[in-house]
Structure 1
Amino acid sequence: RARGLRGAAGRGRAEPRHRDRRRRAHRDRRPAGVLHRPRDPQCQRLRRLRADERLRPARERHPGRRGLPRGADREHLLGRPRGRGRRSGAVARRSRGLRPDRRGPGAARAQRQCQRRAHPRHPAKRRGALRPRRGPRPPADRRRRPALLARLPRGEGPHGRALGARLRGRRSRPAGGPRPARRLRGRAPARQPGLTGTGFPRLFAPLDLGFVTLPDRVIMGSMHTGLEETGDWARVAAFYAERARGGVGLMVTGGMAPNSEGAVLPGAAGLFTREDLANHARVTAAVHAEGGRIAMQILHAGRYAYSDGAVAPSALRSPISRHVPRELDAAGIEKQIADIATAAARAREAGYDGVEIMGSEGYLLNEFLAPHTNRRSDGWGGDFTHRMRLPVEVVRRTRAAVGADFILIYRLSMIDLVPEGQTWDEVVRLARAVEAAGATIINTGIGWHEARVPTIATSVPRAAFTWLTRRLMGEVGIPLVASNRINAPEVAEAVLAEGAADMVSMARPFLADAEFLAKAKAGRAGAIVPCIACNQACLDHTFERKVASCLVNPRAGHETELVYAPAPRPRRIAVVGAGPAGIAAALVAARRGHAVTLFERAAAIGGQLDMARRIPGKEEFEGLLAYYRRAVAAAGIDLRLGTEASPDLLAPFGAVLVATGVRPRNPGIPGRQLPHVLGYVDVLRGRALVGERVVIVGAGGIGFDVATFLAQDGPSPTTDPALWRREWGVGDPALTRGGLAAEGPRPEPSPREITLLQRKPGRPGRGLGKTTGWIHRLGLQGKGVVMRGGVTYEEIVPEGIIVSDGPERADPRLIAADTIVICAGQEPERSLLDALAGRGIPAEVIGGADRAAELDAKRAIDQGSRLATRL
């Protein structure tokens, strides 16, 4: 009342307190430096209506009133009926279909007022009323248009508009083309689910398959995890459920055998019995509970089966198996077709959303297609019409077994990369026949397992084979999936943007980070743990009959045992050494709630990874280091670079983890002190000059890396797909069968003469990865690198190095060299550990500091992560 009296004295009249409060609140909401708040769109529209009203007589402006209506009648002027009571807004919303307006706070406030005052009165006046913005109703012929780019000309949208322009909403069209539909004033375009709030609109565009809509354009490709063979189906369910929870819309399981002769290994997982059905149902239920979809891959190994029961179109042994397959007769072929169709029907019964039929990579169906393995002269061999009969019949019978509303993916070999493989015309014919037989999606397969061309290793360029899928676009009317070395959301988005595919398949990236898609959709692509395509913990484990995991994510395949739960008592943790083991331990400890300080005496993190990224073909390691830098900062870890940790510095911490890595081992060769003898660290960091004739002592992983580093002059083929294809002899399947270049591999010659020596007898590089060692050997051989095993190092002399053969030291000889590079292994760096022990400070040791023999980042990261879960 006192405030009201003061107002009366100053203005000649009293003002109600509530009105003064509203004015002060309006004033306080102004941004700094703004004298007047901008009018919201509703008020602007109201002003225009009032201006129009003034031009007409009063009774025409508003029947029953003179002059302009009061502010209380704004809703009536806008054609919105007034009403009273709480129910009025609900009635109006039901009758007029009001939607939330997202144009700003003013518009939303006006809409709320409308809803409070609305009443179903004066229906005739509501017909022309202004309504909240909504998208224009599409024409009748486009209301159910499937979002399938495969039916459109390559790279174009439904009206000839560029695909990228259509998805971005730009008004661009080719010369002479029809104009895009006009946008109605006062209405916003229809919002497409998944296209807002993300930098990857094509990746998260839904895909309508007719009977089901997929939420995005990503398939988690099939991987042999080895979990099914353990018999612990709870682990299998947890593995797929975690990826469904991370946003994967459609996953494909590892290959399931349709029968015993089709199993890759004796005892391999399948879907044969009622017990198998219950186990698979447990997996599908877990995936569906997380909102995902999952398809089961049906894989018949054919002559790749490691058993005496292997079958094939012809009795030809595979170069990667010692078993000679039995040639199938007509009854045997009919059995395989029936068993595959039965497996698909069982998959549906188990709750799967679809199946993928494996028809590539050199397995049974692929073997029937290629003259390389099909030497038959009956109705299942000879010309291509007969050779493609089996896969087409399999798809037809499978579709009949599962019904029309079930996803059926056919994995088709786009390029065999073996002599006497398929031609491109045959690939196109098969794709059309598979579509006609009932396939829903065609997935891309690249190369046979026996091909001498890498297809998924880290040295393969990103998206190296999408040119093949792009060529098939437009030849079929069902979605096409691009695959192989697509490991980042920006790569996948680019593949879709250029019209190379309708979908992308990624497998190993979901081992590296189960939340890959969720992070990308949330605008946190930088937080995705990158897949470096190393194969060390996934494919290598598979071929060693171990459970597949991931070098950068040890939880993959171990979701039920390796749990990063909050620590019951957070402590101050010191981690010394920012190599792979130290970073992994620090990140997991920080994630669990510990206060972590990470010490690194170098100027940058990474340790051995910082050197690996310099090797041609290992450019992906640079991305891993960039991720680690971001992750360390985001986790709130106190990173102290250029700091030498001492016992005094570490004494106050609650726990100390020593991850100081390794140091090069001294092989004890006479003459090692000569000036032309270098260590691998100096070579890789560019701190020493290297001559034109080089001998590398030691043919382990580091020796091969140094040889690759010194043999490459110019850009890395991994960054140049055309150069990479030339180096490995990848041609065009339209020109040569199988897609191998007629002239063969043509790598760039090495600028140096390099000799790689190994003390162990046998082939150098035998300890390298099972799936990548052959790539390193072939790559160096192509560049003219000489590799010798079983030598004894006698002495290093100014002219080179003297070696002999075997323990008998026979045939001593000089290998001339300008530079000798020592890569003879490592030994643990434990000087800090010894100092801490002398002071009585307890510490845990991990990584190379624990065990340097056969050191690899896989073991270091796994060890660091597991230790951090126990703190």
Structure 2
Amino acid sequence: MSTYPHLLAPLDLGHVTLPNRVLMGSMHTGLEETGDWARVAEFYATRARGGVALIVTGGMAPNAEGGVFPGAAGLFSAQDIANHRQVTDAVHAAGGRIAMQILHAGRYAYGKECVSASAVKSPISPFVPRELDEAGIEKQIADIVTAASRAQEAGYDGVEIMGSEGYFLNQFLVRHVNKRTDRWGGDYANRMRLPVEVVRRVRAAVGPKFILIYRISLIDLVPDGSSWDEVVLLARAIEAAGASLLNTGIGWHEARVPTIATSVPRAAFTWLTGRLRPEVSIPVITSNRINTPDVAEGILAGGQADMVSMARPFLADPEFVAKAAAGKAAQIAPCIACNQACLDHTFSGKLTSCLVNPRACAETELRYAPTATPKRVAIVGAGAAGMMCAIVAAQRGHSVTLFEASGQIGGLLNLAKVVPGKEEFRGLVDWFGVMLAEAGVDLRLNTRASAPDLAGFDEVVVATGVSPRDPGIAGQDAAHVLGYEAVLTGAPVGKRVAIVGAGGIGFDVAEFLVHQGDSPTEDLALWKREWGVGDPAEVPGGLAAAGPQPEAPARAVTLLQRKAEKPGRRLGKTTGWIHRAALQMKNVQMRGGVSYDAVVPEGMQISTAEGPELLAVDTVVMCAGQVPNRALADALAAAGITAHVIGGADVAAELDAKRAIDQGARLGAAF
């Protein structure tokens, strides 16, 4: 009997039966814009081979004004249809099914030609949209219908119409944007007219034997958003208009509540899907922060959804479903919801990848092919870079010995996993342990390898990580000065703290020190109070009337940096605001343009543009950066032994697991 009977159960949609309850949710990867359609096809075909029931592509623009940025991909010509046919043919040959998402960005379109219900500028775009007249609205409807028909011609099994996350259709639904007084605005019957008409006309165009998914926003998390009664009314109308499935979206892109970052509790919004499900008779799909088969199975078994959408987990591991079905769930590479290589890349105009899986979107370029010439490979350091290199090299057929001076694998990932909001790193370290054993790596803990130990190997890799940088502050040897490693491994810390350095490590240490009690990431009720998430049945949009109500901070913390800029400005593009907001809610003082004069018995002496100042603190924590730990690399060079240097030992830029894992994977693939 299957461990996941609900997850792996078929789903009958009438004209087609899906083999399981797993949807690969839409992600914009940037692949379509490269023009390399063989690469696009292989990305989706790889996921189809991994067993997912239905794939949804990244959003395709229905017209130029609706594209998320100028030049965004869509089906505008016969050549576009032929290109997309390569994708659908590849997915079907792999035994899968695929739907194309039609995404009209509305006022979120990053261009002067953007359009919307009203001329209300988005806070995340510099462009004021043009308010559409009747002819303009008709053009948008017709273009969406044309896009659906072209998708059908290109061989897609269905389409998903994007009606959530604050995009075009969502903008018509809410008073937050829709200020119209004609038949497309005013009361809710008018405001929902556009999405219902779009679904009705798409269904008429594609016929009954074509999957039509509507992505509905269950909680907007913006002022004047939809009420719950309106959500239900829309869901029923969309069903009546011809939708096959309702997929659920959570929050607008401009919302100041995190919805998919690692600090959000797993399955944080399934309570809303569970509430909607009995209101309609078509299957309802849940989404957001679902990253293991156990979590997915629990949602389905509990009746909260008919199907589970996971997007980024299929970047981390395209074989998610196949491994779950084979009883190998522990081998599923976990999505840790870090956003570093996916959403941060997307919003920076870079091609998407995955911190955990560098092959994501690089399937035709980065290959782990079996080796024809097995080698003896020595890797020193079982941090992120060393472990990934060891796994890839061993999977390819090399004999790999991994030396680790400490008594555990993980390196600095073990510091990350103790920070509240980064609990997902526990699963990442566990996965590395499983995969090292599965690949047959000879792991030698508590072993400090030296140059003579490495002399007989064909390839030697130095992945010895970083050491904290010495900031050279007068008095830094005082008893009340601690390094970040000591703090994160349990050293006693006073009630008033100054943190020297406001990079990613400084922010993590600050989060660690202001926290007390249960982590909100592991307590949904606590997390909702902290971020002010309410119930759309009580407040339209779902923002709690009382606003955010975080727990009191455990300590008074001041975060310092030398750079005369806003602390945290260089954090992740899509998560930096979350870290800054979380610490501001805990009354953390963030100060830039600071000179560190001296550590004194009373605390720390600093200088700013206003002059010298004494910070009266009990503890000073050093988070002043890192330097490469290159002692072994230098010793090997002196002994005439050629070595590859990767990870922090190569470049000590913060705790950059993304770069370290990518380096390790590429080196392991190159032997």
Q: TM-score surpassing 0.5? A: yes
Distance in 1 between residues matched to 2:52 and 2:20, nearest whole Å = 8
2:26 matched residue in structure 1: 222
2:434 is the alignment partner of 1:619: no
Residue identity opposite 2:209 in structure 1: D
User: What is the CA distance between 1:794 and its match in structure 2?
Assistant: 1.3
2:122 is the alignment partner of 1:318: yes
SS in 1 for 2:59: strand
SS in 2 for 1:754: strand
2:604 is the alignment partner of 1:826: no
Q: How does 1:224-373 map to 2 (within 5 A)?
A: 224-373=28-177
2:666 matched residue in structure 1: 866
Distance in 1 between residues matched to 2:555 and 2:9, nearest whole Å = 50
Distance in 2 between residues matched to 1:542 and 1:474, nearest whole Å = 36
User: What is the CA distance between 1:804 and its match in structure 2?
Assistant: 1.5
Distance in 1 between residues matched to 2:387 and 2:40, nearest whole Å = 28
1:795 matched residue in structure 2: 598
Deviation string 1:417-455 (CA, Å, 9 cap, x unpaired) is 000000000000000000000000000000000000000
User: What is the CA distance between 1:855 and its match in structure 2?
Assistant: 4.1
2:642 is the alignment partner of 1:838: no
Residue identity opposite 1:380 in structure 2: W
User: What is the CA distance between 1:218 and its match in structure 2?
Assistant: 0.7
Compute the TM-score of the two structures, normalised by the length of structure 1.
0.77
SS in 1 for 2:541: helix
Q: How does 1:565-580 map to 2 (within 5 A)?
A: 565-580=369-384
Distance in 2 between residues matched to 1:525 and 1:753, nearest whole Å = 42
Gaps of 5+ in 2: none
Distance in 1 between residues matched to 2:440 and 2:493, nearest whole Å = 42
2:531 is the alignment partner of 1:728: yes
**Residue 852 of structure 1: which of 649, 652, 656 is its match?**
652
User: What is the CA distance between 1:792 and its match in structure 2?
Assistant: 1.1
Paired residues of 2:412 and 2:655 also in contact (CA < 8 A): no
2:448 matched residue in structure 1: 644
User: What is the CA distance between 1:525 and its match in structure 2?
Assistant: 0.7
Q: How does 1:477-492 map to 2 (within 5 A)?
A: 477-492=281-296
Residue identity opposite 2:252 in structure 1: W
Deviation string 1:310-351 (CA, Å, 9 cap, x unpaired) is 001010110000011000001000000000000000000000
Residue identity opposite 2:260 in structure 1: I
SS in 2 for 1:669: coil
| Percent of residue pairs identical | 70
1:816 matched residue in structure 2: 616
User: What is the CA distance between 1:853 and its match in structure 2?
Assistant: 2.5
**Residue 704 of structure 1: which of 497, 507, 519 is its match?**
507
Structure 1 runs, 4 residues or longer, greater than 6 Å off: none
User: What is the CA distance between 1:762 and its match in structure 2?
Assistant: 1.4
Deviation string 1:699-751 (CA, Å, 9 cap, x unpaired) is 00000000000010001000000000000000000000100000000000111
SS in 2 for 1:681: helix
SS in 2 for 1:740: coil
User: What is the CA distance between 1:474 and its match in structure 2?
Assistant: 1.1
Paired residues of 2:505 and 2:654 also in contact (CA < 8 A): no
How many pairs were matched up?
671
2:336 is the alignment partner of 1:532: yes
Distance in 2 between residues matched to 1:606 and 1:766, nearest whole Å = 28
Compute the TM-score of the two structures, normalised by the length of structure 2.
0.99
Deviation string 1:603-643 (CA, Å, 9 cap, x unpaired) is 10001101100000111100111111111111111100000
Residue identity opposite 1:582 in structure 2: G
Q: How does 1:48-87 map to 2 (within 5 A)?
A: none
Residue identity opposite 2:18 in structure 1: L
User: What is the CA distance between 1:869 and its match in structure 2?
Assistant: 1.2
Residue identity opposite 1:811 in structure 2: G
Paired residues of 2:162 and 2:169 also in contact (CA < 8 A): yes
Distance in 2 between residues matched to 1:513 and 1:860, nearest whole Å = 18
Deviation string 1:1-30 (CA, Å, 9 cap, x unpaired) is xxxxxxxxxxxxxxxxxxxxxxxxxxxxxx
SS in 2 for 1:835: helix
Deviation string 1:508-561 (CA, Å, 9 cap, x unpaired) is 000000100000001111111111010000000000111101000000000001
Residue identity opposite 1:739 in structure 2: G
User: What is the CA distance between 1:803 and its match in structure 2?
Assistant: 1.4
**Residue 756 of structure 1: which of 555, 559, 564 is its match?**
559
2:259 is the alignment partner of 1:459: no
Distance in 1 between residues matched to 2:121 and 2:368, nearest whole Å = 47
SS in 2 for 1:443: strand
User: What is the CA distance between 1:854 and its match in structure 2?
Assistant: 3.9
**Residue 437 of structure 1: which of 234, 241, 244 is its match?**
241
Distance in 1 between residues matched to 2:612 and 2:39, nearest whole Å = 57
Q: How does 1:671-690 map to 2 (within 5 A)?
A: 671-686=475-490, 688-690=491-493
SS in 2 for 1:473: helix
2:581 matched residue in structure 1: 778
Distance in 1 between residues matched to 2:204 and 2:121, nearest whole Å = 33
Deviation string 1:112-149 (CA, Å, 9 cap, x unpaired) is xxxxxxxxxxxxxxxxxxxxxxxxxxxxxxxxxxxxxx
Distance in 2 between residues matched to 1:723 and 1:782, nearest whole Å = 14
SS in 2 for 1:462: coil
Select the structure with the greater relative contact order (CA < 8 A; seq sep ≥ 6): 2
1:91 matched residue in structure 2: none
1:378 matched residue in structure 2: 182
Distance in 1 between residues matched to 2:249 and 2:655, nearest whole Å = 33
Q: How does 1:373-452 map to 2 (within 5 A)?
A: 373-452=177-256
Paired residues of 2:503 and 2:570 also in contact (CA < 8 A): yes
Distance in 1 between residues matched to 2:659 and 2:573, nearest whole Å = 16
Distance in 2 between residues matched to 1:487 and 1:867, nearest whole Å = 28
Gaps of 5+ in 1: 1-195
